[in-house]
Amino acid sequence: MKKNGILMAISSLPSSYGIGDLGPGAYSFVDYLAETGVNIWQILPFNRLGYGNSPYQTASSIAGDEIYISIDNLVEDGYLALREIAHFDEEATRVDYDAVRRFKATYLRRAFAHFQEEFPRYERAYTAFMAENLWVYNYSVFLALKDANGLICWTDWIPEHRDWIKTRNLDLAPYENDMAYYQFLQFIFFGQWDRLKYYANESGIEIMGDLPYYVGIDSLDVWENQQCFLLDQDGTPTYVAGVPPDYFNEDGQRWGNPIYNWEVLQADGFRFWIERLRLNMNVFDSIRLDHFRAFDTYWKIAAEEETAVVGQWIEAPGYAFFDALFQALPDIKIVVEDLGDLRPEVLALRDHYGFTGMEIMQFAFGKKRLPHPKKAIGENTIAYTGTHDNQTTLGWFLDIEEADQKRVKNYMKRHGYKGGISEQMIQCILDSGANIAIVPVWDILELDDSARMNTPSTIGPPNWEWKLADYDLLEEKLESYAKWLVKYEKT
């Protein structure tokens, strides 16, 4: 069965509070997808944001960021009174993360106070949630101690705080209220998420989550699984992750994430990875595994190196890992990000397990001769116009040389695709041989690079900040998209 999807970060949804959330704007988006004939909503990671507000540098592989909790839903569920609520930057087209956090924190604290006062009313559901999500306790300790240490990285906490995860030799009584608050936030977040996902599934829409390959050093993942990473005794990474220099980056990309200790992971039956995927499997219908190539070989950089130029490729136990994964989680649904200059062994690993890979049409036009889309892209593939790391299609087209623009135009004309370049590119991937076609929402809207979500190798604004103010233009554009879905049989 052919399918189609739209890539849209939760943060980019319209809302009355400066950032997209799990409230009315998300339900409206699901309604638009269902009316259009869309099968898949692909999101970006929704975990607690870390350095640079990147969803790929998070404080936990599973914990939801409270910034996405819907204030409107809190009112509907009785945690807040409507008269208490003020809107915030309702027409924002960029997310001011710090301002939104400060604004929402006031209402989240009020909701928590209500929860404490009326606890018997919520006790049964809350107790069940905590019993089913044992990770939440350590997560709450992690954040409470992080607050107590001025929000610095756990590696620099006072020793008795840093080492609690190993020794449990610390009286947590002074931090219990903060811990209860962070536990409450997860209870609320996943309550709102579960309702939204159920609504989407009932509307015929699958949710595709996104799991980063690496985790951030300042995370619960590393703090409670230090043996699974290459770290000094104090927790400082001895080696960090990245990719070597290429056509786009002469210094490569030094991401700074700690490297996995695969010997320890394998000796433990890959427990850390399997549990990480199990938790995400329970939250999403399918999971996009980022940086799949690192399950074959990964770039290992000494921590003292300032760039990614000096490093070495190290082989990972990919086959052993996936064998163990599918034995433990036989029903898990995975697609893989297999982009870039890959050695043949990466593709062999992908094909051995029948994983669905990715093709980006912007990259395809770098080839000297591009056949018809039905032949250019194989069936077991997700075809994208671009991803969150690419320019928008319009921005890409405006940036390429005039001769290349002419070649693209001739290709589109030859195959009968009409409209602007973004519309033509969408028709191109819908017409491709791929079983799944996914379009970022900014390409449906025909936006230029002012709507670009992220530029790799850069940190901070404007990355991750783009959002919609309303659905007016999207509603209009989806009318054409719905017709193309029928024409190219991707529904």
Q: Which residues are catalytic?
A: 290, 337, 389
Measure CA of the first residue to CA of the last residue in the chain; give whole Å.
8
Is the bond into 244 cis (omega within 30 degrees of 0)? no
Burial 153-180 (b: 16+ CB within 10 A, else e): bbbebeeebbebbeeeebeeeebeebbe
| Strand order across the 312-315 sheet | 253-258, 239-243, 297-302, 312-315
Q: Measured on CA atoms in the order 422, 424, 428, 431, is the torsion positive or negative?
A: positive
Report how far residue 382's alpha carbon sits from residue 376's, in angstroms, rounded to the nearest whole number: 12
Residues 148/151/155/160 CA torsion (nearest 10 deg): 0
Identify which of 125, 49, 62, 40 has the alpha carbon closest to the alpha carbon of residue 283.
Answer: 62
Phi, psi of 383 (to 5 degrees): -95, 130
Locate all alpha helices (DSSP H) within 353-401, ordered by sequence. 361-364, 373-376, 393-399
Return the bridge partners of 383, or none.
Answer: 359, 437
Distances (CA, A) of 29 to 7, 33, 198, 372: 12, 6, 14, 33
